[in-house]
Structure 1
Amino acid sequence: MSLNLTGSNDDVEATDAMAREGNDDDQMGRGSLSMAWYGVASAFFFVYIGAAMAVAYGTVDALIGLVLAIVSYWLINAVLSKYAINNRTTVAQFSRTILGTTGSTIATIIFALVAIYYAVFEGSIIAYAFMAMFGGEMWMWSLVVVLYSTPLVFGGARRFIDKLNGWLMPIYFFGLVAAVVWAGVVYGFSDTWITHDVGPVPFAMGGPGWLATFAGYMGIWIMMMYTMDYAALGKRKDITFHQNITFGWLFYALAYGFAAFVGIFLTFTIPGVEVSETGLAGGMVSMMGVLGLLVIWVSQTRINTANYYLGAANLQAFGERLRIKLPSVVWLIITAVIVYLLMLLPIVQYLLIALAYQGVLVTAWVSIAVTHIVLSKRRREEHAAIGDHHYRAFNSNGLIAWIVGTVVGLVFLQFGTINPDLAGVGATWGPILTVVLSAAVYAILWRTNPSSRTGLIRVVNE
């Protein structure tokens, strides 16, 4: 069969057939994939960010922004997960279409570094909790965390952990419920956590608190990229299930909604607790002892299996683009070494800054990806079976849109440096304008430069 994959309408049906060929036998079942993905829900960071937003903007505004964030995540991931499952395509493979092979290398390394950053961050929380419980030094506990986490990502061990995650989930869930009850019994139940109000939000904040909260959650749109890599492992017959349950509203109601409720309650109930991830973790360990440590260890270990796996997988993809061929286990060890070295630095202190900058890069990519999928919904140009040599080195459509959106977002982030009174304006509107401009520019180029729609340059013979 000879397929012209340059975007001709005459070949849509043939391309669709190729995208659907093969069966689902080698893909993960809905239960296994859901259990693997729900390990991501237990990031203690989600507890922290909900509390931070409530402290900054008031509980009611924070909850409104949170609901809007959950809905937006659900809708966007419904598009990305369906496409990834249908085409069995990862972020690295899909990026070849919108950015070209060389351009996709940039997206791949950004994904790898962000996943590594989260591995560092979440690992630091475990190390901090161990230190709070048993004493010692952070470097020692950091080493312990890396040494036990790395083997969990090896082939057979990772599959075992993916299955175990389903059983560990109740420990995380009921552990946080116990923390809420414990804090209420010890320090008293009150309505302070739900009535906290900061008053009228000044212009310097960039808009109402709910909008600032919504923009804050855009800083972790890296979850969209996580979704695509995980969804590529699913069966096509389970698409609807994964759109709603695995990667949809239920997941984010738990990961963001439930976690935010816990974080807000603990912050306004435990006296003197610092509104930071380490502060909340330390507060739980101080209050609950071994049980608090167990909840933190379980939750952070679950999320870090995903961080290590995706960090190593995308680092490997980046290396292979540079013609560096190494076994997967070597890339995992390299990832672990990088994680440990970064854990020795005070990286937790720079969480919000890092989120803002990586958020601009990631939201621009997500905006372009969704726009491409929506505009090409009748086509199936992208498929994992297509080799790199069939793609352009650079796809001008995607690169121009990505650069425009990213530059605007980064400029807005500098507002706070230029004038501290405008920091809120930059933080709120930077990611929003990044998404809007990236999508708009890509859509315009899609219409005016059709030859670059697919990123493909030649005929594929099968």
Structure 2
Amino acid sequence: MVEEQITEEYTNHVVPKSARKSRSQVLGSWSGITSAMAFVYYGALAAVLAGVQQAIIGLVLVVICYSLLGSYSVRDAVRWGLNSTLLSRRLFGHKGAAIAPLLVGLSLVYYAVFEGTIVAVALQSYFNVWDIRVWYAIVVVGMLPLMLGGMQTWLSKLNWVSLPIYFFGVTAAVLFAGMQVGWVGDWSAFSAAASSTPAIPGWLTVFVLYMGIFVLFPETQDAARFAKERDLKFHQNVTFGWAFYGVAYLFNGLVGIAIVGFAGSSDEVSESGVVQGIIDTLGLVGLIVIVVSQIRINSANFYFASVNLERFVGHFTKRGISRKAWVVLISLVVFVLMLTNVFSYISVALAWQAVLIVTLVGIMATHSALNPRQAPEFRTHRLKAVGPGFMVWIVSSGVGIVLLQLPAQAPVLSALAPMISLGLAVLLYIAVHLAGGSAVKERRADPVRDSVEDLWNVRVECDSCERSYVAQEMDVPEQGQSVQCLACQESKRDLEDAALPR
């Protein structure tokens, strides 16, 4: 079982305390996300949308908000060893909770396309040969072997080795760009764009823009479940807190503004403009920095996408696909999506993603705030298929998507769609909670937990798969005496429901 889960990363199980990693391993694995070229691009885009001053104010507010939400996301994941899907089951039901891994998995596939495309553009820009589609294929095939590792075997080592190259590389790009133009640059384009909604302050425009990256919060839980409880404060402040977001958003955002501005290419800020700015200032070294940074971020994208999509399929099929097989499949999907020119629909994708993810996170954060000491219920036989939180998500995200489609009729409401959806999700879930809505069934008997004193250190064999897992996740179906692990609870549930008399 241990050998199998080193590869499968406890995707459908509780992470036992014996499998928890040191703070440096968790930090190293997660730190790859700081090198997303998307964050550099967002900084330059924020300056175009709101002006440099308002963009910086917005970035600071984003770091503060994300740090607080990041700290919350870590707590239950570390304490219970649960991923975002299992933590959301009490809210959405054991089937309804499938929306969490689906949204996270698809969002990260999109980001993998974005970051992979950045590398292809950089390679073509530097070598100036071949069609871009050839570079897409080279990037996907070349990166695939590096994407197969997980948090327990590879990500930490990869990221600690590559971190200095990324950090000092982008810093050098800013310094060299500044020296080349005398620290002046062409900042004329960095004033609020005419297309921006005048009724919305610039800093709020930036804040709403970054709400499209709320996907980091369920990702945080997927990574934090491997942390040790004694390291909780460190991870809340550093790994997933203000230190991380200070580098990921504020540092990268300022780098994006500076590189494009100093390089004199701010007439029309684009993803390729950021790439070209780095290559123009550092040449071959700049190309290496881009390739290394994208390997770092895509290793995280592929890892979290694979575990989430494996988890999603596991909700509905008896036999799923292994995590490594998912990595290969995702690579094929990424290549196909690259051919569609992801840059052409980035703004639309970010807007839809923002609405769908912020409502999910808002519901989870609200539940945690209303029930700070409540133990999560994640065992399948004790949950309804769909909980009230799922309906709240449908309504609130539906309202947001409708508003997104009305930029001409309701420009202010359309621009604030993610924030309106978030507020609606919070209010509706509070109403559902006060009304007593719950996805948890009324079951008094708990044979496994009642008979085991140490739920974290005692292993219990599953009668279905004949593997042993910590007693914390084991349960007995409502009808029958067999003991099942979490993965088998889900796959066997449909068979048991079908066998019940109608």
Using the size of structure 1 for normalisation, the TM-score is 0.88
Matching residue within 154, 164, 167 for 2:161: 167
Which aligned runs of 4 or more in structure 1 are off by greater than 6 angstroms? none
Return closer, same or farther for 1:339/1:198 CA change in 2, 3 Å cut-off. closer
Structure 2 counterpart of 1:18: none
Amino acid in the other structure paired with 1:455: V
Amino acid in the other structure paired with 1:349: S
Matching residue within 51, 58, 64 for 2:51: 58
CA distance in 2, matches of 1:433, 1:373: 20
Return closer, same or farther for 1:158/1:287 CA change in 2, 3 Å cut-off. farther
CA distance in 2, matches of 1:159, 1:22: 15
Matching residue within 328, 344, 350 for 1:349: 344
Structure 1 counterpart of 2:359: 364
CA distance in 2, matches of 1:461, 1:22: 21
Matching residue within 417, 440, 443 for 1:455: 440
Return closer, same or farther for 1:192/1:212 CA change in 2, 3 Å cut-off. same
Q: Is 1:387 aligned to residue 375 of structure 2?
A: no
Summarize deviations over 1:32-65 as a string: whole Å, max 9, x none: 1001111000001111101111111111111111
CA distance in 1, matches of 2:331, 2:51: 39
Task: Identify, as 1 or 2, the structure richer in helix.
Answer: 1
Amino acid in the other structure paired with 1:410: I
Structure 1 counterpart of 2:457: none
Structure 1 vs Structure 2 CA RMSD: 2.2
Q: Which moved more, 1:32-41 or 1:89-98?
A: 89-98
Structure 2 counterpart of 1:132: 125
Matching residue within 314, 321, 325 for 1:330: 325
Q: For 1:49-448, what aligned pairs fall within 5 Å after superposition? A: 49-134=42-127, 135-155=129-149, 159-190=153-184, 193=187, 196-198=190-192, 204-273=197-266, 274-323=268-317, 324-382=319-377, 386-396=378-388, 398-416=389-407, 418-419=408-409, 422-423=410-411, 425-427=413-415, 429-448=416-435
CA distance in 2, matches of 1:436, 1:157: 34
Q: Secondary structure at the match of 1:330?
A: helix
Return closer, same or farther for 1:197/1:278 CA change in 2, 3 Å cut-off. closer
Task: Tell me by how many angstroms 1:158 deviates.
Answer: 7.4
Q: Secondary structure at the match of 2:446?
A: strand
Structure 1 counterpart of 2:465: none
Summarize deviations over 1:70-99 as a string: whole Å, max 9, x none: 110010111111111111111221222211
CA distance in 2, matches of 1:443, 1:92: 21
Amino acid in the other structure paired with 1:189: W
Task: Tell me by how many angstroms 1:342 deviates.
Answer: 0.9
Q: Secondary structure at the match of 1:159?
A: coil
Amino acid in the other structure paired with 1:238: D
Structure 2 counterpart of 1:16: none
Amino acid in the other structure paired with 1:426: S
CA distance in 2, matches of 1:99, 1:188: 56
Unaligned runs of 5+ in 2: 1-13, 449-502
CA distance in 1, matches of 2:187, 2:249: 17
Return closer, same or farther for 1:448/1:272 CA change in 2, 3 Å cut-off. same
CA distance in 1, matches of 2:320, 2:278: 44
Return closer, same or farther for 1:309/1:332 CA change in 2, 3 Å cut-off. same
CA distance in 2, matches of 1:46, 1:90: 25
Return closer, same or farther for 1:381/1:225 CA change in 2, 3 Å cut-off. closer
Task: Tell me by how many angstroms 1:337 deviates.
Answer: 1.2
Q: Contact 1:193–1:265 at 8 Å: present in 2 too? A: no
Q: Secondary structure at the match of 1:25?
A: helix
Return closer, same or farther for 1:157/1:306 CA change in 2, 3 Å cut-off. closer
CA distance in 1, matches of 2:87, 2:54: 36
CA distance in 2, matches of 1:438, 1:29: 36
Q: Contact 1:33–1:234 at 8 Å: present in 2 too? A: yes
Task: Tell me by how many angstroms 1:334 deviates.
Answer: 1.3
CA distance in 2, matches of 1:233, 1:156: 12
Q: Which moved more, 1:102-111 or 1:61-70?
A: 102-111
Q: Contact 1:69–1:217 at 8 Å: present in 2 too? A: yes
CA distance in 2, matches of 1:203, 1:180: 28
Return closer, same or farther for 1:131/1:27 CA change in 2, 3 Å cut-off. same
Task: Tell me by how many angstroms 1:331 deviates.
Answer: 1.8
CA distance in 1, matches of 2:31, 2:323: 24
Summarize deviations over 1:143-196 as a string: whole Å, max 9, x none: 222223222232479733422312211111111111111111222212765995
Amino acid in the other structure paired with 1:130: L
Q: Which moved more, 1:188-197 or 1:320-329?
A: 188-197
Amino acid in the other structure paired with 1:285: I
Return closer, same or farther for 1:334/1:389 CA change in 2, 3 Å cut-off. farther
CA distance in 1, matches of 2:160, 2:344: 32
CA distance in 1, matches of 2:46, 2:208: 11
CA distance in 1, matches of 2:368, 2:126: 49
Max Rg structure: 2
Q: Contact 1:78–1:248 at 8 Å: present in 2 too? A: yes
Q: Contact 1:206–1:212 at 8 Å: present in 2 too? A: no
**Higher RCO structure, 1 or 2 (CA under 8 Å, sep 6+):** 1
CA distance in 2, matches of 1:373, 1:145: 41
CA distance in 2, matches of 1:332, 1:65: 35
Amino acid in the other structure paired with 1:381: P
Amino acid in the other structure paired with 2:414: G
**Aligned residues with identical type, % of pairs:** 35
Return closer, same or farther for 1:237/1:333 CA change in 2, 3 Å cut-off. same
Q: Contact 1:59–1:195 at 8 Å: present in 2 too? A: no
Q: Contact 2:15–2:225 at 8 Å: present in 1 too? A: no
Return closer, same or farther for 1:66/1:22 CA change in 2, 3 Å cut-off. closer
Return closer, same or farther for 1:308/1:457 CA change in 2, 3 Å cut-off. farther
Unaligned runs of 5+ in 1: 1-20
CA distance in 2, matches of 1:159, 1:193: 45
Q: Which moved more, 1:233-242 or 1:323-332?
A: 323-332
Task: Tell me by how many angstroms 1:355 deviates.
Answer: 0.5
CA distance in 2, matches of 1:148, 1:186: 34
